[in-house]
Amino acid sequence: MLISTLVLAGALSDVLNNGPCLDSPRSVPMSLQPPAVRATQIVKIDKVVSTSTMTAGETIGFLYTLEDGSTWLGQRTAPYVSPAGAQQINQLLGSTHLPTSNVTEFPPQTKLGVKTNYLQYFQVKLPPGAADALSVRVDPCVAWPSTRPLPDPTV
């Protein structure tokens, strides 16, 4: 949590999109996906870091915790996604997606140059011990201060 504390120690802005999560597609406290309601606001972002041999130390994605307590997995922004990282984040998604979801891999954002409108974030549940088995670790990145109310998500 030291990183979160350092990021929040400066002047608080309404959007926390600096520091170690700069290549995250979403920021705290934005809504993860429409509709913009309080339950879908991001309150914490953690980095998903590879511990496997070929990609050790590489950030392969982000784990978003929403105001409602749910956790969602997302890839890095497009310029930072490597083929090895994409394969590993898909292994993580395939193992941790919720039973109500049949999605087990990140779909492309475009197909033959046409936007697919597929979702980029998938609800997951990372059970204790799963990170080691999947050769990843989850590092804290940035969090909204629990003592400060979230801003209105519709603004």
pLDDT tens by residue, 109-127: 777 878 777 778 999 999 8
Residue 39 within any structural domain of the chain: yes
pLDDT at 11 over 90: no
Residue 152 within any structural domain of the chain: no
Alpha carbon dihedral 83, 87, 90, 92, in 10-degree steps, equals -120
- Please state, rounded to an integer, the average pLDDT across all residues of the chain: 83
pTM of the shown model: 0.83
Residue 154 within any structural domain of the chain: no
Give the pLDDT of residue 4. 40
> Where does the pLDDT of residue 9 fall: very low under 50, low under 70, confident under 90, or very high at 90 and above?
very low
Contacts 24+ apart (CB under 8 A), 7-16: 7/142, 8/142, 8/143, 8/145, 12/145, 12/148, 14/151, 16/142, 16/144
- Output 8 or 40, whichever has higher pLDDT: 40
Residue 149 within any structural domain of the chain: no
Mean pLDDT (whole number) for 124-148:
91
Residue 98 within any structural domain of the chain: yes
Give the pLDDT of residue 76. 87
Residue 128 within any structural domain of the chain: yes
Range of the domain at 39: 2-143
Residue 23 within any structural domain of the chain: yes
Give the pLDDT of residue 134. 92
Written as one string, the DSSP assignment of 20-37 is: GGTT-SS-BTSBSSSS--
> 44-80 pLDDT, tens per residue?
999 999 999 888 999 999 999 999 999 999 998 878 8
The total domain count for the chain is 1
Residue 58 within any structural domain of the chain: yes
Percent of the chain with pLDDT over 90: 39
pLDDT at 148 over 50: yes
